[in-house]
Amino acid sequence: MAHTIVIELPEEIFEPLVKSADRTGRTPEETALDWLQDAARRSSEDPIEKFIGTLSSTVSDWADQHDKYLGEGQIQEMREQRAKED
């Protein structure tokens, strides 16, 4: 079952959407649907998703930025390991 949704996009989202649509020969609506489907798929495949809302944190954007924070943590661990080895 298909549903219709109407949204207002800020210029910083609309312009890349139109450019992407032009490059692929599709309409902005088709391209927006592709983007939303991709975001939904990535969200449902995210192993951290099941933990969102279960942990208390002082970092307000960890749910959206967890990959960044995990990467930063991994880099820090690698630096500490290297420092121990030197």
CB 15 within 8 A of CB 23: no
Q: Whole-angstrom Cα distance, residue 51 to residue 32?
A: 28
pLDDT of residue 37: 92
What is the per-residue pLDDT across 6-43, written as a single tens digit (0 to 9) for each?
Answer: 999 999 999 999 999 999 999 999 999 999 998 888 77
- Look at residue 15 in the predicted model and tell me its pLDDT: 95
- pTM for this model (two decimals): 0.51
Listed by start position, the domains of the chain span 9-45, 48-86
Q: pLDDT averaged over the chain?
A: 87
